Structure 1
Amino acid sequence: MTSSRQHLRDLFRWKVRVVQHNKNGEVQVEYQSPTPLHNPIRLLRDLHKRDGAMCLVALAAYTADAFDFHSVATQVEKLAWYYNSTYLYVSGCLAISMVTRYVGAAIMGLAGDRYGRKWPMIFSLWALGALQIGSIYCGSLYQFMAVRATIGLVIGGLYGNAMAMALENCPTHSRGLMSGILQAGYPLGYILAASASMGSGASLGRYYDMNTTESSLRIVFGCGSIFSFAVGAIRMLIGESYQFVEAKRQHRRRDSERTFWNDAIHMLRNESSIMLYSILLMTCFNYLGHTSQDNYTSFLRTSRDMDWDVALRGGITMMVGAVVGSVTLGYISQWIGRRRTVIGACIITAFMIPAYILPDREDALSVSGFFLQFFLQGAWGIVPVHLNELSHPSFRAFMPGFTIQIGALLAAPSSYAIIKTAHDHRSGNGRGYYKEARYGRPMGIAIAISLAAIVLLTALGPERRYRHFENALPAGCGDRTGNDEEGGHRDEKHNRHNRDDSRNRRDGRNRDDSRNRRNRDESRNRRDRDESRNRRDRDESRNRRDRDESRNRRDRDESRNRRDSDESRNRRDRDESRNRRERNGNDSGGRDEGRDLSNGHRSRDSSRSRNDRDQDNRRRQNFLRDSLNPPVRHMGATYLFKQILRGDNDNNHGRHNSRNLFDDDATEIQVLEPPIKI
């Protein structure tokens, strides 16, 4: 185990001391530079949806726990009047619930490490809701104390299971921020309880009516019961942590309970020094929290003579600063370190104690309370992750929960001691028993002593930042070493005896991891090849479709051009034919030069010309028949017949008018002698 002197030297060294264990069980120490801060929004977005849901449920569960505690702390005066008792006896209800919590922390913590976080949390939340309903129907203060003691039993293990579940399901670099968010559930529970108390009747003048007081108490405890039942129901909808699911899938959970208890005994033997240190540190933290918060409302009511609603409003303002400080300093601790953050926050808190208790006005007290709780609860914001990093990796529900509840047990008399001291040193102004009590001085002294003890223990204690406990096997799986990648102290003698078994188990896990990684890589490569082939096929299909469309478009264009050219040629042919027909009509009907060129006249002229041509053809045929008769055989007639058949009107030897040859008015046929004599 590293000495306290080494821890003190590491406190002033910026690099982080990391202890690693190799496969042979040898311890190696190295110093690493801290990782820089990341954007908190990015850290939250890095969470998987299921892991984020687990963190939210853990926050809600711790808020339900804090709501139950502060539902009594914010109504001490109301409960004292309702049960016709004093402050001292009612404050005993707060102490008795803290006394019995360590029993529940031990039972539920071991159950969470053995069977998983889910069902122990559900049992604690539903039992808390049922007992809060029982608090409504208590007829006497002793019955109320019995119910509060039972509540301490059932919710003792809620803290350990909730914090372990949330931190083992978030990345290492976001644990500081997540720790601050989870610890903010405690002041958030105070805000909700104080708001419910104000909404149900905050004016002290209404408490003198028994019916009004009973109704107010029922409203506050009823709201807490509904809240607890709702969180338990939501937890049922979310699965178990993947460490337990993986162990069950690989059949690594032993059927015998003997293995689990042997591991637990081995843990207690080897981790006893760390557990003792954690108990002392948590005792000081619990003293600091309860002395500064539990009696603050009574301090404003009695020592500052404020109304009940004003006192609750001041307490709510104070706790808003606690919520902001817890998240902020938890986030910063991931970079500057857990111990440096705690020590710095405690030193600043010590300088703000006078401003916390000396002012008389509401605004001054609210501002000083906001900033003091900002740093005080900011130091508390490192506690969840710090305890989980110090604990045995396989018992992170038992060790943090048990040590913090033992610290709460030792700090249980803190509220009672403050009230007793305040009333023993009351002022002599004669204004009444409660209003003459002096809370400021004992609160300031108790806060200062607690801060000094926390600074001393933190400076001399260990820190195991960046410890990878999320890969540890659950308790009962046969791995007692609890080896992880970074941090942690080990029993070298035990490691020497179990080195071979541990190495074989690690080698088997490494082979399984390598095979799974290789299978994942092959599957990813196969998927990439399939996607590439599909993409190539889609590209080829698209290109083929584009080519087909281009070819079809070109064919359509060519067909359209061909059709246009055919139509143009046909139109030209029709025009030429019409022109030829018109020329022929003009030649055959020369005597009809004055005819009308309109469409109707052209049609009649064409019809007349056609009839004339038919008559001419018949006359030619008749002439041919007559010309072949025996009397007409000389060459002149033959020559004339050839000229007529040729249709020539002009020749080189003479001009003959065929129209005159067949004239209806002619009485005889004139036969001309040929120019050549035969």
Structure 2
Amino acid sequence: MRRVLLSSYLGSVVEFYDFLVYGTAASLVFGHLFFANLSPILGTVAAFGTMAVGYVARPLGGIIFGHFGDRLGRKKMLVLTMILMGSASTLIGLLPTQAQIGVLAPLLLIALRLVQGLAIGGEWGGATLMALEHSRSQKRGLSVGIVNAGAPTGAVLAASIMGLFAMLPEAQFMAWGWRIPFLLSAVLVVVALWVRLGVHESPAFAKVQEQVKDQRKSPLAEVLREPKTLVQTVLAGATPTAIQSMLATFALTIAVQGGADRSTALFIAAIASVVNMFTLPCFAAMSDKVGRRPMLLAGLFIGAVLFYPVFSMIGSGETGKMFAGYVVGYGLIVGILMGIISPFISEQFSTGSRYTGASIGYQLGATLGGGFAPMIAAQLLVFGGGTSLKYVVVFFVALSIISAIAVYTTRETSKSELS
């Protein structure tokens, strides 16, 4: 069990490191290097648009890898997704800019971002289910919470390494410094693959493997037989992924606009993510006792209330306030929502189609929330004059209400058997 958790945790570290290094670069670099013909604010919006492409691809990755994961096994798909993710990130680090190859540069950036999205669309479901299906029923939330802690660990690595190179002089950072974090992905992939190759297949999957092979309908057809469950999981996952994505990208943009030094903002975000590494499994373990639904509803309410104070502090330009905003955002809001949403979504589906159903539900929610939220927030910030957050707050509160309704109408699953 320890090796299973370590394997899934390290896989999540690598996947989210790669994914969030891209988000950080989109905030600081890509607008200037790949959309140089646009104004700075529009270049940032365009860079966030390429980030959204990765989120759009995630549901497709969930369908593809979920299908084969439900047919052939979780482990095989996890190895494949990690190789794809690491390869795409390494190639981004070698990509010529618009000044060097013209319009081909942003097109190649979008293509590689698409590969990243496909890979993480399959990785999340496999890593989550390996932990969930190996675990005892009374500790499923804790097990998945440990795996989810890989996300803030990846964020810490992404922000720390990018922040380290952001301390270079502006010309050197823009010329080559931003590339090194992408190239370091290859090292992380080798370490994680070494651990992952030694893990056995999920016992829950092994029990139903022959039955699944004999079924006439595909796992996707089984999931679509109950569209209500799929819609509920999509809407429930939109707000948790939105706040996580906005803290990783949009918050960095407003911090720099507020007068904060780029590297300082990155290091503060990294420290706050360390807090998140511990709060994620803690809140997930709490949901094993209290229940998934009450905890998620409480988290959505807290997020809606604290969204404006958190982002106002981050954009204040004052180091102390910025630190407090990031810690509350990551440690409390993201800790509750992202710690619980993974077991909540996974437990809504049966073993024979769980990889497909959970992956599609989570990734569609991530596309709606995490993929488009930073881009929408950046546009709403422009609409509010470039400094006012009022329209961004209205957007997030409305999204929170939609997710709360979806969670409220589902069944409680923390005590139920996976079968």
TM-score (norm 1): 0.56
> Which of 1, 9, 17 is equivalent to 1:59?
9
SS at match of 2:350: coil
Deviations 1:215-272 (A, max 9, x none): 3233100122321232123211222223455667xxx468xx6x34426366235432
Aligned residues: 399
* Alignment match, 2:100: none
Contact 1:355 / 1:365 at 8 angstroms: preserved in 2? Answer: no
Q: Distance in 2 between matches of 1:439 and 1:415?
A: 15
Please say if residues 61 and 117 of structure 2, whose CA atoms lie closer than 8 Å, have aligned partners that are also in contact. yes
Aligned match of 2:125? 160
Deviates more, 1:229-238 or 1:390-399: 229-238
Amino acid at match of 1:117: R
Tell me if structure 1 keeps the 8 A contact 2:54–2:116.
yes
Name the amino acid aligned to 2:358. Answer: P
Give the CA deviation at 1:454. 2.5
* From 237, 244, 250, the counterpart of 2:198: 237
1:402 is aligned to: 360
Whole-angstrom distance in 2 between the partners of 1:338 and 1:172: 13
Equivalences for residues 85-100 of structure 1 within 5 A: 85=36, 86-100=43-57
1:453 aligns with 2:402: yes
Instruction: String of CA shifts for 1:458-499, please: whole Å, max 9, x gaps.
Output: 222211222222xxxxxxxxxxxxxx4xxxxxxxxxxxxxxx
Map 1:411-560 → 2, pairs under 5 A: 411=369, 412-426=371-385, 437-438=386-387, 440-469=389-418, 484=419
Which deviates more, 121-130 or 283-292?
A: 283-292
* Aligned residues of 2:125 and 2:359 also touching (Cα < 8 A): yes
Is residue 242–residue 373 contact of structure 2 (8 Å, CA) maintained in 1?
Answer: yes
* One-letter amino acid of the structure 2 residue matched with residue 207 of structure 1: E
Deviations 1:45-77 (A, max 9, x none): xxxxxx221111111112212111210211222
> SS of 1:464's equivalent?
coil
CA contact (8 A) 2:238 2:403 kept: no
Name the structure with the higher helix share: 2
Q: Is the 8 A contact 2:380 2:392 kept in 1?
A: no
The CA distance in 2 between the partners of 1:455 and 1:358, in whole Å, is 24
Q: Is 1:112 aligned with 2:69? A: yes
1:213 maps onto 2:174 in alignment: yes
Alignment-mate amino acid for residue 106 of structure 2? L
Q: Which one of 34, 52, 55 corresponds to residue 83 of structure 1?
A: 34
Give me the whole-angstrom Cα distance separating, in 1, the residues matched to 2:206 and 2:236: 34
Offset at 1:96?
0.7
1:383 to 341, 358, 362: 341
Contact persistence 1:322–1:376 (CA under 8 A): no
Cα contact 2:149–2:276 (8 A) shared by 1: yes
Aligned counterpart, 1:295? 250
Alignment of 1:324-343 (within 5 A): 324-343=278-297
- Separation (CA, whole Å) in 1 of partners of 2:245 and 2:406: 19
Instruction: Give the match's secondary structure for 2:413.
Output: coil
Distance of aligned partners of 1:443 and 1:64 in 2 relative to their CA distance in 1, 3 Å threshold: farther
Counterpart contact for 2:155–2:270, Cα < 8 Å: yes
Alpha-carbon shift at residue 159 of structure 1 (Å): 0.7
What amino acid is aligned across from residue 393 of structure 1 in structure 2? T
Paired with 1:294 and 1:200, the residues of 2 have a C-alpha distance of: 17
CA–CA distance in structure 2, aligned partners of residues 240 and 180 of structure 1 = 20
Q: Residues 103 and 156 of structure 1 are in contact (CA less than 8 Å); yes or no, is this contact kept in structure 2?
A: yes
Matches within 5 A, 1:11-160: 51-75=1-25, 76-83=27-34, 85=36, 86-139=43-96, 140-160=105-125
Letter in 2 for 1:284: T
> Which amino acid letter does the alignment assign opposite residue 153 of structure 1?
L
Q: CA deviation at 1:442?
A: 4.1
Provide the identity percentage.
18
In structure 2, do the counterparts of structure 1 residues 293 and 269 end up closer, same or farther at CA, with 3 Å as the change threshold?
closer
Q: Matches of 2:250 and 2:286 in 1, distance apart? A: 30
For residues 443 and 365 of structure 1, do their structure 2 counterparts lie closer, same or farther at Cα, with a shift above 3 Å needed? farther
Matched-pair contact (CA < 8 Å) for 1:356–1:369: yes
Going from structure 1 to structure 2, the CA distance change for 1:439 and 1:171 (only over 3 Å counts) comes to farther
Tell me the amino acid that sits aligned with residue 407 of structure 1.
G
Task: Name the amino acid aligned to 1:396.
Answer: R
Q: Tell me if 1:169 matches 2:134.
A: yes
Q: Shift of residue 344 of structure 1?
A: 1.7
d(CA) in 2 for partners of 1:176, 1:119: 24
279 and 119 in structure 1: CA distance in 2 versus 1, 3 angstrom threshold = same
Helix, strand or coil: the match of 2:354?
coil
Aligned-partner Cα distance in 2 for 1:244–1:119: 13
Question: 1:165 deviation in Å?
Answer: 0.8
Counterpart in 1 of 2:271?
Answer: 317
Give 1:235's aligned amino acid. Answer: R
Query: Could you tell me which residue of structure 1 aligns to residue 99 of structure 2?
Result: none
Q: Is the 8 A contact 1:291 1:447 kept in 2?
A: no
> Structure 1 residues 396 and 246 mapped into 2: Cα distance closer, same or farther (>3 Å)?
closer
TM-score, L = length of structure 2: 0.88
Instruction: Quote the offset at 1:84 in angstroms.
Output: 5.2
Q: Pairwise mapping of residues 146-295 of structure 1 onto structure 2 (< 5 A)?
A: 146-202=111-167, 206-209=169-172, 212-245=173-206, 252=210, 259-262=214-217, 264=219, 267-295=222-250
Which amino acid in 1 is paired with 2:306? M
- Would you say the 8 A contact 1:288–1:451 is kept in 2? no
Structure with the bigger RCO (C-alpha within 8 Å, sep 6+) is 2
User: For each residue in 1:431-478, what CA deviation from the matched residue of structure 2 results, as whole angstroms up to 9, or x when unmatched?
Assistant: xxxxxx326434433332232222222222211222222xxxxxxxxx
- Gaps in structure 2 of 5+ consecutive residues: 37-42, 97-104
- Residue 352 of structure 2 aligns to a residue whose secondary structure is coil
1:362 to 2:319 alignment: yes
